[in-house]
Amino acid sequence: MNLAEIRTHYPGLQDGIQLNTGGVGLPSLEVREAIDAGFNRLYEEHVPPIEWHSLMCQSADVAREKMAAFLGAEKEELALTVSTADGYAAVIGGLDWESGDEIVITSEEHPMPHQAVLGLEEREGVFLKEVEIDHDPAVMVERTEQILNDRTKMICMSHVTTDTGLVVPAEAICQLARERGIPTLWDGCHAIAQIPVNLNEMGCDYYASNCYKWLLGPLGTGFLYVSQEAQKHLKPLVHPHKPGGGAAQYRMSNPAHALYAGVGAAIDFIESIGGVEAVQKECVRKSDLLKNNLDAVPGVVVVSSRRPDSQTGTVTFAIKGMDGKDLDHALRNRWQIVQRGTYMTEPTGVRISVAFYTDEEELDALVEAVKVLAIEAGNG
Ligand X SMILES: Cc1ncc(COP(=O)(O)O)c(C=O)c1O
For position 233 contacting ligand X by CB under 6 A, the verdict is no
Indicate whether 189 belongs to the interface with ligand X (CB under 6 A): yes
| Residue 82 CB, nearest approach to ligand X (Å) | 8
Closest to ligand X by CB, 71 vs 369, is: 71
41 with 62: CB under 8 angstroms?
A: no
Q: Is 310 a residue that touches ligand X (CB under 6 A)? A: no
Q: For residues 275 and 267, what is the distance between their CA atoms, to the nearest angstrom?
A: 9
> SS3 of 218, please?
coil
d(CA 211, CA 160) in angstroms, rounded, equals: 15
Q: How far is the CB of 194 from ligand X (least distance, A)?
A: 11
- With beta carbons less than 8 A apart as the criterion, state whether 84 and 210 touch: yes
| In the complex, least distance from residue 113 CB atom to ligand X, rounded to whole angstroms | 6
265 φ/ψ angles, rounded to the nearest 5 degrees: -65, -35
Tell me the window of 126-134, 187-195, 198-206, 253-261 that interacts with ligand X (CB under 6 A).
187-195
Shortest distance, position 229 Cβ to ligand X, whole Å: 25
When the beta carbons of 87 and 299 are compared against ligand X, the nearer one is: 87
**Whole-number Å distance between alpha carbons of 178 and 182:** 6
85 is an interface residue for ligand X by CB under 6 A? yes
User: Amino acid identity of 377?
Assistant: A
Are the C-beta atoms of 154 and 182 separated by less than 8 Å?
yes
| Measured distance CA(55)–CA(51) in Å, rounded | 6
Tell me: does residue 110 bind ligand X (CB under 6 A): yes
Facing residues of 160 across strands? 167
The interface with ligand X within residues 130-169 (CB under 6 A) comprises 158, 162
Determine if 210 is a binding residue for ligand X (CB under 6 A): yes
Amino acid sitting at position 301: V
Indicate the SS3 state at residue 88.
helix
Q: Select the residue interacting with ligand X from 94, 137, 183, 222 (CB under 6 A).
A: 222
Residue 112 binding ligand X, by CB under 6 A: yes
The answer to whether 364 and 326 have CB atoms below 8 angstroms apart is no
- 190 lines the binding site for ligand X (CB under 6 A): yes
CA angle 98, 99, 100 (to 5 degrees): 110
Give the nearest distance from C-beta 185 to ligand X in angstroms: 12
Cβ atoms of 247 and 315 within 8 Å: the answer is no
How many residues touch ligand X (CB under 6 A)? 13
Q: Residue type at 379?
A: N
Selected binder of ligand X within 134, 187, 282, 362 (CB under 6 A): 187
**Is the Cβ of residue 112 or residue 273 nearer to ligand X in the bound state?**
112
| Residues within window 12-31 making contact with ligand X, judged by CB under 6 A | none
Closer to ligand X at the Cβ: 105 or 276?
105
Decide: is 344 part of the binding site for ligand X (CB under 6 A). no
- The CB-of-187 to ligand X minimum distance in angstroms stands at 5
For the chain, the first-to-last Cα distance in angstroms comes to 42
The least CB distance from residue 136 to ligand X, in Å, is: 21
Under rule CB under 6 A, residue 84 binds ligand X: yes
Handedness of CA 192, 15, 18, 338 (dihedral sign): negative
Window 256 to 285, contacts with ligand X (CB under 6 A):
none
The nearest distance, CB 189 to ligand X, in angstroms, is: 4
In whole angstroms, give the CA distance from residue 243 to residue 234.
8
- Going by C-alpha positions, the residue among 137, 85, 71 that lies closest to residue 106 is 137
| Least CB distance to ligand X at residue 377 (A) | 27
Which residues form the interface with ligand X (CB under 6 A)? Answer: 83-85, 110, 112-113, 158, 162, 187, 189-190, 210, 222
